[in-house]
Structure formats: structure tokens, C-alpha cells
Amino acid sequence: MDDARRRTPTHSNRSPELPHNNKFILPHIKTTSYMESFLPSTTKLWNDVIKRSPTLSSFKKHLNDFFSKTPNELYHFGARRCNKIHCQLRRNYSSDLYKDLFDHYLSDSPACRNCNCKTEDSYHYIFICPAYTTIREVLFENIFNLHIN
């Protein structure tokens, strides 16, 4: 190979373009809870990254940005069992509250068994239900005493 040819690159310095046929087809989704489940949500996330990444280098940057995010430390603080319950209540999904059980066909009614309110969801459980008033007052007083700004 002569010197002139060796100095001339055979390809450009631009990052190669990504083919846009790397998208996955989402299955037909009827419910929000299914849309938020693992497979559809990760498929949608993948397709979004592909859509926003015209080149290989931008694709790598999006992946690095995604995986370098620091998770919220509150999601890992304390006992695993408490974190699991916290997550279930926060997402209004798959908790033992009757609204969630009703949504998953595991209960005949979403009503609260303590006060007969028509829906026992996490908001009702934490802020409304009179069955937990005493516990709620202790909880709120302890939170208030933490002096969190």
C-alpha cells in the first residue's frame, strides 16, 4: 500500500448511522397497568432510545446517560419488605388494598372493609380511613419532628 492511500481514510469520521428497523413492535395494550409492566415499558423505552439516536455514538451516549443515573436513595433505604410495601402503595398497584385486589379480579369489591368507603386505595388508606386515625397522627407527628425542609 502506498503512502498516499494509507493516509486517506476509506470511511468518514462520522459515527455510523443506526438502522431504524431496530424497533420492537409493542403488543396490543388495553390497560395502563399492563403498559407500566416490565415488557411493554422496556420495549417502549428501547424504541424511544432508538428513535432519538440517529447515529451509533448518540445511541451509546443515550445508554450511558440512562445507566449512569443515580437511583433515588429513598427507594433503597431501610428494610426490603418496607420498600416493597412503599412501592406498592406509591404506584397504586398490586398492594393488598381492596382497590388493587379488585383491579386484579382478586376481590368482589374495591370498598374499604373498615369504614365502607367505596374505594380503598392508597390515598384512602394513608390519609382518610378513620380506622387508622391514631396511627396516622403518630406518623405525622414523627415526620413533623424530623424538621425536614
Give residues in contact with Zn ion (CB under 5 A).
112, 114-115, 117, 129
The CB-of-93 to Zn ion minimum distance in angstroms stands at 19
**Cα separation of 63 and 80, whole Å?**
28
The CB-of-125 to Zn ion minimum distance in angstroms stands at 7
Residue closer to Zn ion (CB basis): 8 or 116: 116
Residue closer to Zn ion (CB basis): 18 or 129: 129
DSSP H stretches of helix in the chain: 3-7, 32-35, 38-51, 56-67, 80-90, 98-103, 122-123, 133-145
Extract the C-alpha cell encoding 12. Answer: 468518514
Residue closer to Zn ion (CB basis): 101 or 129: 129
CA dihedral 115, 117, 122, 124 (to 10 degrees): -80
